[in-house]
Amino acid sequence: MAGIIVSGCGQETKLSTSSMKARRAYHEGVSLFEKFYFNEAMDAFRQSLAADSALAMAWARLAILDFTSENESGARDHVEKALLYSGNATRREQLFIRMWNHYIRFSRDKAMAVVDSLIREYPDEAEAYVFRGRLYEHEKSLEEAIRSYERALEIDTAYAPAAMSLGYAYSQAGEQEKALVHMERYIRLDPGSADPRASYADLLLYVGEYTAALDQYKRSLEVKPDYWYAHTKIGEIYTVYGRLREAEEELTQGKMGLPFSKIREATIVAEQAHLNTMRGRYTEAIRQFEAAFNVDSMNVSAAYGVVHALTKLEKFKEADRAVQRIRTELERRNLTSSRAMLGFYLMKARLFIEQDRLSEARAACDTALDFTTALTRGAVYKELAEIGLREKSFETAFDACEEALGTNPNNPEALLTLTKLYHATGDERMTQEIGGRLLALWSNADPDFEKLAELRRLVGPGRSPVL
């Protein structure tokens, strides 16, 4: 499972508690968290605290779980408890708590300084190297991240989170074979858990092997039928297929598998809004996005969705205000030099394209490229192809499409742009050929899937998929 999730302390042998019940529940919670079984992990940490309410590390683990679940306020409350009780903790534990306290407060430079101290004083701490690797990834230092993950595996060859992290990092670097090797190792290290199969599926999804990815996510559910992450990713694949009703069911089931909070409920509403944008129901989507904001004013995903919906309705002034809101939130989170800015500049490029401010759109794409990896730069080239199409710079647009399809040759967004390009240049044969690939992909799409309607306007209503 991708993300800033750092799991249990692979070499942790001591815990500052005299309660054996607290100790057992704590270690069970760490094991469950490593598997990304968040509800079960939360129950275990609470059991640990019921036995020893002053166990600082249990409070810290609850904070990490909250933060991972996007419950920022809960994370801050729990890390404050961890700091309060850390006076009786070991030096190792104190550094761990301080490290996460800084991270939860978006002070990544301070978090890096503390994790370096932790590694210097306790060089056997595999978890610290994984944490450091995540920080390197945030700051676009992929090679450094890979070295950190490799060092974690040298320290503890059975530390599954390090193998998983290496798989994702090599995928971002565009080295798919190495990525798959490490994910296969992750499966071997934890064959009885659901996440290794789901993480392996992620690598297939990234390169457009949708059928194979779907099969792996379903195999993950054979291990744990209610595994929230696999349901979420199946929902994402269904959105690729245009099967929006099924996507909504899976996405909702995925979020329901996370710990209950108002944030979770707001995210479900925001996901429903995103699906409504795919149906062309922009006014309804905006209402839902705003409802999500009323519960969670820091929901960046909803903010991006609002910009998209407002842009489609040509409410550009309102969209500009929403962009500024996102920029303010990214600044608050100290993310303006991180890879999170890729989505921000892509959003700005799309807004400019819809306003025919094409030189500004191209500039936004050029900036976005600074925040890409080998895996993610295709999204920028897709927008550059759209710009070339609007400018009637067809050769430039075709070149950009080729780049956009380089990592994922089945990317439906890029294939739709390519179909539009062939249609604009009067190449009926290629319009039908590329359009036919999309018709095959969307053969079971919902009738209100807007992109299917757009495709049919290009290829004609009675065309059959080209297989």
- In tens, the pLDDT along 423-457 reads 999 999 999 999 999 999 999 999 999 999 999 99
CATH fold of 17-123: 1.25.40
- In tens, the pLDDT along 57-105 reads 999 999 999 999 888 999 999 999 999 999 999 999 999 999 999 999 9
Mean pLDDT, all residues of the chain = 94
Whether 378 has a pLDDT exceeding 80, the answer reads yes
- In tens, the pLDDT along 111-149 reads 999 999 999 999 999 999 999 999 999 888 999 999 999
- Mean pLDDT in residue range 371-381: 96
How far apart are alpha carbons 111 and 96 in whole angstroms? 10
DSSP string, 13-65: ---S-S-HHHHHHHHHHHHHHHTT-HHHHHHHHHHHHHH-TT-HHHHHHHHHH
Domain limits of the chain? 17-123, 269-336
For residue 349 the two structure tokens come to 């490029």
Q: Which one is predicted more confidently, 5 or 297?
A: 297
Q: Looking at domain 269-336, does it have CATH number 1.25.40.10?
A: yes
- In tens, the pLDDT along 288-347 reads 999 998 888 778 888 899 999 999 999 999 999 999 999 999 999 999 999 989 999 999
How far apart are alpha carbons 198 and 175 in whole angstroms? 19
Q: What is the pLDDT of residue 461?
A: 64
Q: What is the pLDDT of residue 212?
A: 98
For residue 152 the two structure tokens come to 């974690």
Q: What is the pLDDT of residue 300?
A: 80
Q: Report H helices in 53-194.
A: 56-68, 72-85, 91-104, 108-121, 126-138, 142-155, 160-172, 176-189
